[in-house]
Amino acid sequence: MRHFVATCLKRLATLLELFIAMMMALGIILLCVRMASSIINIPNLDVWPNYTDLMETCFNLIIGVELIRMMYSHSPSTVFEVLLFAIARQIIIDHSSIWGSLVGVCAIAVLFATRKFLFCEFDIADEIILRSSMKAKSVKRILGIEIPYEGEETLLDVFLRKCEEHDVEIGVGACIYFTDFGLRAAKTHDGKISRIEVIRSIH
């Protein structure tokens, strides 16, 4: 039951993120149209947009686009790009002092160093351990994964069939992989697999 509630909440959070991203995208499109219709006013510095206003608006729109990417793609690289554009905007638009610009440049250098030496290219996994006797169709419905099953097959039936197809030795730690998830034998009882771990990538 807890896994079902957690899955429902994750799906709801994903839908809310997509809705917010769509609203932000619509707002950015409208602002782009407004900016495009006002380009003719650039020669007149007393009317929006003048050059500084145009640069500031463009940077804000770019940051908005990166925020949309961050909402649907939960990866460190999208967070890096949002921070990079935000700091670059502060340096270029805000000419407060040379020390402020120096701090901004150092911050960008730290971001690039972090990406080069600390970022790792891997998928963050979501791991759930289930009873091997659980019906495969129930697992599909609760977790929202495309697990291939026939009739009333259990999770164990699917696991054993896949192991036979790929000549995988059955035992604790044995893994089989599908398109967007994997199954691993997590525990045995009286020589039989009693728990199977479902491993999914969350991005």
Q: Same domain for 113 and 130?
A: no
Domain encompassing residue 142: 125-201
Q: Point out the least confidently predicted range of 28-32, 34-38, 77-81, 124-128.
A: 124-128
| Residue (of 90, 116, 117, 119) closest to 103 by Cα position | 90
Q: Which of 117, 139, 164 represents a domain boundary (last residue)?
A: 117
Q: Same domain for 101 and 138?
A: no
Whether 14 has a pLDDT exceeding 90, the answer reads no
Q: Same domain for 43 and 93?
A: yes
Q: Same domain for 104 and 8?
A: yes
| Residue (of 139, 153, 133) closest to 181 by Cα position | 139
Q: What is the CATH number of the domain that holds 193?
A: 3.30.465.10
Classify 135 as helix, strand or coil: strand
Q: Which of 117, 137, 153 represents a domain boundary (last residue)?
A: 117
pLDDT digits (tens, 9 = 90+) for 133-182: 989 888 888 877 888 888 888 989 999 988 888 888 888 888 888 877 88
Distance CA 137, CA 155 (A): 9
Strands across the sheet containing 181-189 = 125-131, 192-201, 181-189, 175-177
Q: Same domain for 6 and 103?
A: yes
pLDDT digits (tens, 9 = 90+) for 56-101: 888 889 888 888 888 777 667 778 888 888 888 888 887 667 888 8
Q: Same domain for 130 and 111?
A: no
Q: Same domain for 45 and 83?
A: yes
Q: Same domain for 132 and 157?
A: yes
Number of domains in the chain: 2
Buried b (16+ CB within 10 A) or exposed e, 68-88: bebbeeeeeebebbbbbbbbb
Across the chain, where does the E strand assignment appear? 125-131, 175-177, 181-189, 192-201
CB under 8 A, 24+ apart: contacts of 46-55? 52/93, 55/92, 55/93
